Structure 1
Amino acid sequence: MSAENGKNGTPDTQAGPRPEPLRFYGTTWVHHDDGYTARRAGLAFGSLAVAAAACFVLRFAYQGLQIADIGSFVSLLMIVMFAVCSALAFRHTWAAFTRRPDPDRQASLRGLLAIGFVGSLLAYFLRTFTEAPGEKLHREEYEKAREEYERRITRRTGNPSKKHRRK
């Protein structure tokens, strides 16, 4: 760790563990400063707008299938596929805000999550009403690291090389 925090070359006064930055929020989630509330509102609106635009694009894809006249079974299959994938992506994304996902499971679900991206966007949108998505998980990890750090530094009681040893 360096003695500077990277902002204007000013010295860092906080010793110990540093909070992990969240995407779009940085470390503003720690003290809810530097436009945290405005970011939450903007990202809520943005994720909802992107989800609506994605649904609009999916509607064009569905209309393309209808124009191609490939049959009602394939059209129904596409609707069910996007609905199920979106529901699974919503559930997986929502759960990832409260606990770290397993990297192997995450890799195996990558295709499903890509298909169900609308569900992920809606989970992000709904989560911004209570906190920055992932804030609870990061706050728990940060507070645990701070507590462990505090326990380690308070346990030390001076220079161990100057202790008198009994013979």
Structure 2
Amino acid sequence: MTADRAPAAPTDAPRPEPVRFFGTSWADRGPGYALRRAAVAAGALAALAAGLLALSLALSAFTGGPLLDVLLAAAVGGCSLMAGLRTWRTLSRGRDALDGWMADDRALAPIMVVGFAGTLAAYAVRSLVEAPGEGVARARHEAALAAHARRRTPRGGRPGARRAPGGRRPRR
């Protein structure tokens, strides 16, 4: 082995988790990563535009007067805001960071369906920053690599010279 060649990486090291639409290319931000992020953002914005068009056609069928129009717009806007905040927090901090009312998936299912616009908008904006969910996956991967490195490094020091609990040396 020559001095200029680095040792090979251990094969038993933890592998990165795949992220939707990106696989494991987020780990090294390999070729096509930026283009894929732009495509994901464009796809989310296209789905958002199509969904908002369908939503406006569905809401135009209601003829209950201006008060009903205001209430429906407020309900859809509020649901979109809550769904967008929940999606942003999930993509940036992980599902473990959800607390309180945001943590209950079954209770939030109707809000997430009505507020799909907020979810798609959060997904599009997050894909402009990084691959959606990349920060959470990167933190998990780095923690797994650090734990793996701790397991593989031998303990140093002289175990026989350690002090017993209480600060006294054991008698021989």
Aligned to 1:9: none
Aligned to 2:142: 143
What count of residue pairs does the alignment treat as equivalent? 144
How far did residue 117 of structure 1 move? Answer: 0.6
- TM-score normalized by structure 1? 0.79
Percent of aligned pairs sharing the same letter: 36
Q: Which amino acid aligns with 1:22?
A: V
Q: Which amino acid aligns with 1:93?
A: T
Aligned to 2:162: none
1:58-93 superposed Cα distances (whole Å, 9 cap, x missing partner):
11112211xxx2233222221111100000111100
* Correspondence 1:70 to 2:64: yes
Identify unmatched segments of 5+ residues in structure 1.
Answer: 1-11, 158-167
Give the counterpart of 1:96 among 90, 101, 114: 90
Structure 1 outlier segments of 4+, above 6 Å:
none
Write out aligned runs for 1:145-164 (5 A). Answer: 145-155=144-154
Task: Report the aligned-residue RMSD.
Answer: 2.1
- TM-score normalized by structure 2? 0.76
Identify unmatched segments of 5+ residues in structure 2.
Answer: 1-8, 157-172
Aligned to 1:32: 29
2:129 counterpart SS class: coil
Q: Which amino acid aligns with 2:93?
A: R
Query: CA separation of 1:137/1:149 partners in 2, compared to 1, >3 Å: closer, same or farther?
Result: same
Q: Distance in 1 between matches of 2:16 and 2:145?
A: 9
Structure 1 range deviating more: 75-84 or 96-105: 96-105
